[in-house]
Structure formats: C-alpha cells, structure tokens
Amino acid sequence: MWGCLAKVMTPLPKRMKIGPRTVDCIFIGYAEHSNAYRFLVHDSKNPEIHKNTIMESKNASFFENIFPCKTKEADLNSTKRVLETISEDSSDDQQGTKLEIEPRRSKRARVEKSFGSDFLTFMLEDEPQTYNEAIRSPEGTLWKDTIKSEIESIMQNHTWELVDLPPGIKPLSSKWIFKRKMKADGSIDKYKARLVIKGYRQKEGLDYFDTYSPVSRITSIRMILAIAALRNLEVHQMDVKTAFLNGELDVEIYMEQPEGHVVPGQERKVCRLVKSLYGLKQVPKQWHGKFDNVMMTNGFKINECDKCVYVKTTDIGYAILCLYVDDILIVGSNNEIVIRTKNMLNSRFDMKDMGLADTILGIQIKRSPEGLILTQSHYVDKILGKYGKDDFGIAKNPIDIRQHLSKNKGQSVDQVEYARVIGNLMYLTSCTKPDIAFTISSLSRFTSNPSENHWKAIVRVLRYLRYTRDYGLHYSRDPAVLEGYSDASWISDIQDTKGTSGYVFTLGGGAVSWKSLRQTIITRSTMESEFVALDKTGEEAEWLRQFLEDIPEWPKPVPTVCIYCDNQATIARAHNCMYNGKSRHMRRRHNTVKQLISNGVISVDYVKSKDNVTDPLTKGLNRDQVEKTSKGMGLMPKKI
C-alpha cells in the first residue's frame, strides 16, 4: 500500500464555515509515537500546507490502485530527496521517519507458552506431521504404502480431474495427515494416511452453503446392542473406506495437485473436485446425503428418532443398521439378511468387512452365554497409564462423601492437565461408566481454576477406576422391558443454590441411557427438585419409546415406560390436575408430565430410596450403596 494516493482531511481555518477539505497525499508509513499515518503532501491548494511536506493524520481515504510516483521516476527521486533532507534535519527521536518499504512490526515482547514437555506427544502421539517427514522416517515404507492406497482410492473414485486453472480463481492447497490406528490391546492395527484439503480458506455462500450432518447418538448404539442381546441377533461391523470421498459436490472447487503426486508434464494444471474430499466444510453433509439416498433406494427406512439408524424388513428377516460417520453396525435377525446388507453396501461403496463387531467408538463388545457386555477396560488402562502410573491405590467409591468441593480462589494448579483428564473421564462416563457421572459432572465445574483439593478428588476417581477396571454393562435376554429411574438431590451443600437431576433407563438388565446434570432453576423444596428431575426423565422416556416404535417386531403400540421415583409428594403432584398459587412457576413442567401420563407414554411408580439405582448420579454414596446401584444398572465385573 506504500506510495498510494490518499485524501487526507485537514483542519479548516477559523474564517471558513463549510465542511472539511482534503489534501492529495502519498502514504509513506506510520507515525512513530501515535497510531496515525504519515503522508507526503503531493498536491495542495491550501497556502498553509505546502507541497513535499510531511503531515500526520488518522482521517484519510486510501486509493490503493493509484500510485502518483510510479510512472514518474523523476518525481520519485525528488520525493526521496525531500524525505532524506527532512530526515537529516529532524531530531534524534524522529530518526525512524525515513522512507520504509517494510511494514511496521510490533515491538511487544513475545512470550512463549509451554503446555508441558509431553503436550505434543499427548496430542499427536509422535506421528509424522509432513509428507517428507513420513517417507523419511524409519516407518517410511509403511507410510508410503498407505499413501499409495489413499491415492488409489481417490483415483478409483474419480474424485478430481486435472484441468487448467480458470482466470481469477485461486486454488486451495492440501496436506497429508498421518495416523496410527490402534487395537483394543494397545498394539498398532494399521497405518492410515489422509489427503486433506485446506477448507478453512473456503468462503461461505460461494464455496459452500450448509455444513451440518447428523451422527448417531451413543444411546442409540447401546439401545441397538441391548435389543441384539435380548433377541440373540447377529451383530456385525463394516467400515467405509474413504467415506467422505463419496459425496457429490454441487459447487466448483479447485485444488493444487497433492504433494508427492504431481503428474509429470502437467505440473501447471490443478485438480477440479468432482466429489468431496476430506477438509471441505460441506463434506459431512454431502457424505450423509449420499449414504441416505443409497439406503432409501434399497428399501431401508429411517428411524424418526435417529437419522443415522436404518431398518428394513423382508420376507427372510429384518436388519437394523447404525451409521456413525464411517463406522457401521449391522444387526440382523439371521445371517442371510446380514450378508445381503453387506453385499448391497459393497456394491455402492468401497467397504471393509470387519466381521463380528468387537469394538465400536472405543467400546469393546464382548459376548457371553447370557448376552453382550460393553466394556472399556483398555481405555481405563490408557488413562491410568498416563495419569495414575505412579499411584497404585484403589478406592471403592468414586467420591469422598465427607469432602465438599468449592471454587479455588488462589492460583490454578496444572489447569491444562486437569482439563485433559476431565475430558478423558467424560468420554468414559458417556459410554460405559454411569457410576462416575455425578463425580465427573461436579469436578468439571472447576476446570478453569483447579486446586489441590480438586486434584485429590481426581486421584480418587482414578483409584476407583483401577478397582472397577473389569466392570462392564451387561445386557441379557430379560427383562425385555424398558424402565426408568428418576432422582434428584436438593441443596446438598451450603454453597449450592441449585439441585442435581439424574435418571437411568435400563433394557435387558443393563443401562442404555443416563444423565447427571445440574438443574437450571432454583427450586424451593425437595419435591420441586424431584419434579424437575421427573420432567427431564419423562423427556428422555418419550424419545426412547419413539425409538422403539420403528424397531421391527417390537410390540405395537410400545408399552408404557414406567418411571420409578422415590418421592411420594412428587408422584402425587404428577397425578394432580389442580394448581395453586404456590406452584404456578412449575406449570410448564407439570403440564408436560401430566400429558405424558395421560397419553400413556409414561407411568410413575414409587420405589424406596435404597432401591433407586439413580442415587449415584445425584450424590456421593458409600461403597455398599455404590456396589448395589451399579449392579442394578447392569454394571458388573465380566466374570459375573
């Protein structure tokens, strides 16, 4: 921008009453001691402002396509001489006013941030970061093979075609991503390379429009596996190779040829994308749209509660298919319907048949004479190996019921490391460990500023995981009924003003859905707190019941879901149609629960507190209660 024409506003003489005037100037840099611009006066009709003088101002309009001195070399040399003369006559503190072509750079000292010596190792696990690093590493041969396989898949899929770059278009660049895929026991399964386009340079409305794409809920996966255990169904797994390459693009996108695979003699050409490529913002939506269309044209129907669950009923049986990005679970009433489904998928996509399902989203699927077991013992080992390798103690309950945690008002203790372990434990909680849901929910509130006490609580959770390492969710062949449990804890701490809600739903003897969350409103009594939890439980019960509506051969209409509650006042309020002034603030929740009951979606029944399996999701319990409620949720050691 240096050297361009600028219109600079100048102050008016007092005798003039019209608006401000401008002076034609040339932009020459930035002021040394202010945030103004510096200009060389190029043309002025004001006798008070002479040509070839320097002025500073913040009020200017730039014309970046006009350079007055560009074609007049004599004027440019004259301008430089003027600047040099002015610079020589200036004071010492203005010696930096010479003509500078380089832009001004910040003088603020750069402070390097350190997240620990193992930060990159933790995030990237020592995997190659560039193409050259991969092929020159000791595992270079293995990386070359997977790169070759990736390019072959791309070319077979006709992902792009080489064309001349249209004028006015700037192509996107790409990079290679390398990953080692691990088995459940921690050994290397395979080496994987992905060519990823740098989609962050795409412009919304020009290069893409919608980007959303549904993924299956983890609850849906547990429901399907529980149904498979109830009916002793076949459970198989397939993986879509280069899934995102299957989406059809509806806009023109150009990309530079990938590193290491530039076609000889056509170096100047670029890739015009015909199909989706990893990294594009619209890729997930395009892939799901393509898969959705294939399933619909082959007789599958979408489960209305989960857009990634498909069902099909034929004369030889039925199949249930669950898609999670590129991982597919296939549950069939017999082996023949499973084979047909696999053949259909193989005919439309490049698939990898993984046989009987053994791992899905890091969850191990074990088979027993009674049914199926979901466990993450390998993931527990990974967490303990990283965060608890120097501690060998055990704990029989995840939280010390005598300890009351509060906000840290002092200095934070290893905040980044605390956030990491909380993230790992949250994933474990959401998949197979409902018994630590309340503990992790409570500890996650202190992620921004943890103290030593919070770290002690984390250590106790890790010890409890060591004690329950071999625990898993057991799904058996009975009872074939969906039932729920609701509970809440009112103000359990003098520092709290909101209660905690919790619910658990079981099917086939094992938990399929659970949640522990802090309530969003301040309740006035235990009854109100329990009613807020019942409202949230009823919401989940309605979703689960509707999910079962689309399951083949499930009794129609789906039986009412019984929800057990340990507060009789709450049950009475749920069945009461009368209002009074004291409960008007809960009218919406009351109407919701009353409607679910009247429509036959749910029923509410009483259970003693000692038999309510939701207790560990709302408060800390002693070791005997934790063991009893865990067993009620189907969370038991593998040998049992």
Digit-coded pLDDT (tens) for 489-517: 887 666 677 889 999 999 999 999 999 99
Q: At what angle do helices 452-467 and 415-431 cross, to 10 degrees?
A: 30
C-alpha span between 475 and 223 (Å, rounded): 10
- Lowest model confidence (mean pLDDT) among 80-89, 242-251, 555-564: 80-89
Mean pLDDT, residues 262-285: 88
Mean pLDDT, residues 209-222: 89
The pLDDT value given to residue 86: 43
By DSSP bridging, strand 483-489 and strand 500-507 are antiparallel
Res 62 pLDDT > 90: no
By DSSP bridging, strand 635-637 and strand 510-518 are unpaired
Superfamily of domain 479-607 in CATH is Ribonuclease H-like superfamily/Ribonuclease H (3.30.420.10)
* Among 483, 481, 449, residue whose Cα is nearest residue 563: 483
* DSSP states along 154-216: HHHTT-EEEEPPPTT---B-EEEEEEEEE-TTSSEEEEEEEEEE-GGG--BTTTBS-------
Dmax (CA) for the chain in angstroms is 101
- Omega cis (within 30) before 103: no
Mean pLDDT, residues 89-111: 46
Q: Indicate the average pLDDT of the chain.
A: 84
**Could you tell me which residues are beta bridge partners of residue 41?**
25
Mean pLDDT, residues 44-72: 76
Res 9 pLDDT > 90: no
Percent of the chain whose pLDDT exceeds 90: 42
The pLDDT tens digits of the residues spanning 468-496 come to: 999 999 999 988 999 999 999 887 666 67
The pLDDT tens digits of the residues spanning 344-397 come to: 999 999 899 999 999 999 899 999 988 999 999 999 999 998 887 777 888 999
What 3-state class would DSSP assign to 631? helix
The pLDDT value given to residue 101: 41
Res 72 pLDDT > 60: no
Please state the domain extents for the chain: 5-97, 124-361, 368-477+635-640, 479-607
C-alpha span between 296 and 287 (Å, rounded): 14
Print burial letters for 156-195: b (CB count within 10 Å at least 16), e (below 16). ebebbeeeeeeeeeebbebebbbeeeeebeeeeeebebbb
CB 593 within 8 A of CB 585: no
